[in-house]
Amino acid sequence: GAIRKSSIHLCDLAGSERAKKTGASGQRMREGASINASLSVLGQVIAKLASGAERKGVHVPFRQSKLTHLLTDALSGNSVTTMLANVSPALSEGEESLSTLRFAESVKKVKTKPKVTELGPEEPKQMLKTLNAEIEMLQNALVAESTMVPKQIEMAIEGAEYLQRTLSAQAGDQWAEAVQKTRDL
């Protein structure tokens, strides 16, 4: 009996924010510029993926924006990805609609290969043991040095503790029950 886990991510990309068209200024204009920068990087990532860059060993700039970093798995990983493109029939929106359709066309060329990833019933417990040991080792190192916590170590401890809490919440007392339900499927 292996355990299967899945997740769903919904992302509304809105559209490019043209300052002239929206009449934005100040904070809104900066937000629009930030959205445009993220969409531009997303366009670059999709263009590289559509050309098969990952298979050719070419770097794909997923970490250049928060948006593309969050969408890394959806765009290149073990997932099923769907894009909905909304266009307007209004003549005043013709340029935006055409741009959206071009973007959607390039997204269609990106291929992902979803596979079922299964965890054995014993794996979460082993991961929890490893995380607990790592947290304890880091905390002991801090006590032994009796110095202020360097930012990297503090972040490592926080990350390990978060992962441990997440796994505990998933694995918890109901883990055996979840294993049995999965076996019954």
- C-alpha–C-alpha distance, residues 53 and 77, integer Å: 14
- C-alpha–C-alpha distance, residues 86 and 106, integer Å: 15
The pLDDT tens digits along the chain (185 residues) read 566 667 777 887 766 566 677 777 788 888 888 888 888 899 999 999 988 877 788 888 888 988 888 888 888 877 888 888 888 899 988 888 898 899 889 988 888 888 777 666 667 777 778 888 888 887 787 777 766 666 777 777 777 777 777 776 766 656 666 656 666 66
pLDDT given at position 53: 79
pLDDT given at position 70: 86
pLDDT given at position 170: 65
- C-alpha–C-alpha distance, residues 137 and 157, integer Å: 10
pLDDT given at position 41: 92
pLDDT given at position 74: 84
Q: Note whether 112 and 81 are within 8 A (CB).
A: yes
The three-class DSSP label of residue 184 is helix
pLDDT given at position 180: 64
pLDDT given at position 45: 92
List, in sequence order, every residue forming a beta bridge with 4; answer none if it has no partner.
118
Give one DSSP letter per residue of 77-141, joined into a string: SS------------GGGHHHHHHHHHHHHHHHT--------EE-TTHHHHHHHHHHHHHHHHHHH
